Each structure stands twice: as C-alpha cells, then as structure tokens.
C-alpha cells in the first residue's frame, strides 16, 4: 500500500482562505473541506480545495488567514449539477500545519505534484492562437483498495510534443503543480456558465518503464 501512495504525492503551501466545513461522514469518521490559495511566481493565484479527516487534522481550529503547509494526495470526483457533471480535483491532506512566517512580509508558496500512472485515453494536441503547443492528458493513478484517481493534466512546448505520441495504457511519471482555471461554459446559444477547471500543469514527463 505504501508504494501505491508514493505514486501520488502532493506538497503545497499557501494562505487558507476559509475554515474547514463539514463534508461527509464514513463509518463515524468526519471529513471536512477548506480552501487554500497558492500564489504563482507570476502573481496569479490558484484556489484549491483541501479535504481532511478529523482524525488527522485539527479541523475545529481557526485556519482562515493562516499560512499553511499541506502534504497529501490528489483525489478526483465527479461533480453533478442537474444532468451535467464535470471532474474536479482536491487535495486529501495526510499532514497539515500552520507555517510561522516569522514576521516576513514576502511569503514563499509551494506547489509540487508527483504522479505515476497510466494514460487513460488518446492525448489531445493543439495550438493556441498565439502558436503555443499544448497537449491534454488524462492519467489514472492507482490508489489503495483497487481504486484509481483520474487526473487531468496539461503539457506545454516540448512536453506537449512528447506527450502527443503516448498511447492509452502507457505508464508515465509526471511532475508539476496543481492549478485552477476560470472559464465560461456554453450552455446554449445565449447562456454561459462560470466554472472552475482543475488540472496538473506538467513541468517534467517521462515513460515509467
């Protein structure tokens, strides 16, 4: 089981922009969610959902406004809205603590993801209007008890050209960061819906031989 967990590792740090709220309960164990905001070097911010067990994290304490470090794994789930659904990502926290900034005004946010899994479907290669190369990947990462987590990933430049040649079922390793992206979903000819997409932006990629 330990090796399976090693296939899915996340370490992030940032400002907690909410306290924990109750999500659900399984066999008497309560699970709670909160939001953390991670600042990129560009200044752009990613808003990521963190889920924690009341047995692993002090979910009753005041977290909002605190700078926190979170270690854990990516989890994915289908969010249903009426007849529509879309895949969302969150971080399941195995460890979480407040970081003392020591009076520093400049903070150093961290956002590191490691995944080892299998390509689920044919990669989708495209170019932006500015000519930037992008490939979308969907990775299946095995978790305990025979389950898998499905993680949307995005590759850029050389990684995009490399990933374009992958086949479904191919084992790969990827490193990068988890990110959020606001977009408008077209519902009808006159109606759009504001949504948030979650994905892993890949910085390094290789076959897992």
Q: What is the pLDDT of residues 97-124, one digit of tens each?
A: 997 766 555 567 999 999 999 999 999 9
For the entire predicted model, the pTM comes to: 0.87
Of 64, 67, 65, 34, which Cα lies nearest the Cα of 48?
34
* Residues 50 and 76 sit within 8 Å (Cβ to Cβ): no
Rounded-to-integer distance, Cα 136 and Cα 155, Å: 6
Q: What is the pLDDT of residues 24-36, one digit of tens each?
A: 999 999 999 999 9
* Residues 95 and 58 sit within 8 Å (Cβ to Cβ): no
* 2-101 against 113-207: fold identical: yes
List C-alpha distances in Å: 129 to 97, 126, 133, 137: 42, 10, 10, 20
Structure confidence at residue 155 as a pLDDT band (50, 70, 90): very high
Rounded-to-integer distance, Cα 135 and Cα 159, Å: 8
* Residues 115 and 151 sit within 8 Å (Cβ to Cβ): yes
CATH of domain 113-207: 2.40.50.140
CB count in 10 Å sphere of residue 12 = 23
- Identify the pLDDT of residue 197: 84
Rounded-to-integer distance, Cα 130 and Cα 113, Å: 28
Q: Domain segments of the chain: what residues?
A: 2-101, 113-207
Q: What is the pLDDT of residues 37-66, one digit of tens each?
A: 999 988 899 999 999 999 999 999 999 999
Rounded-to-integer distance, Cα 209 and Cα 4, Å: 16
The third-level CATH classification (topology) of the domain covering 2-101 is OB fold (Dihydrolipoamide Acetyltransferase, E2P) (2.40.50)
- Identify the pLDDT of residue 147: 87
* Residues 196 and 181 sit within 8 Å (Cβ to Cβ): yes
Between the two ends of the chain, the Cα-to-Cα distance in Å is 20
Using alpha carbons only, what angle is made at residue 106 by residues 104 and 109, rounded to the nearest 5 degrees? 115
Structure confidence at residue 85 as a pLDDT band (50, 70, 90): low
- Identify the pLDDT of residue 192: 77
Parallel, antiparallel, or unpaired for β 8-16 and 29-39? antiparallel
Three-state secondary structure readout of 62-87: CCCCCEEEEEEEEEEEEEEECCEEEE
């Amino acid at each position: 089981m330990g090796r399976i967990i090693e296939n899915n590792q996340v370490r992030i740090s940032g400002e907690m922009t909410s306290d924990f709220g109750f999500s659900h309960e399984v066999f008497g164990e309560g699970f709670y969610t909160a939001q953390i905001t991670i600042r990129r070097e560009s200044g752009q911010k990613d808003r990521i959902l963190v889920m924690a067990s009341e047995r692993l994290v002090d979910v009753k304490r005041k977290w909002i406004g605190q700078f926190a470090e979170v270690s854990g794994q990516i989890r994915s789930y289908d969010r249903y809205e009426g007849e529509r659904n879309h895949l969302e990502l969150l971080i399941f926290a195995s460890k979480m603590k407040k970081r003392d900034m020591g009076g520093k005004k400049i903070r150093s946010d961290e956002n590191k993801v490691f995944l080892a899994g299998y390509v689920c479907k044919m990669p989708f290669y495209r170019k932006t209007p500015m000519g930037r190369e992008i490939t979308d990947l969907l990775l299946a990462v095995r978790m305990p008890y025979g389950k898998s987590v499905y993680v949307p990933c995005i590759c850029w430049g050389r990684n995009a050209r490399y990933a374009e040649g992958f086949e479904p079922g191919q084992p790969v390793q990827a490193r990068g960061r988890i990110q959020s992206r606001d977009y408008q979903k077209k519902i009808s000819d006159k109606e759009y819906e504001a949504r948030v997409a979650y994905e892993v932006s890949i910085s390094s990629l290789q076959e897992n031989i």
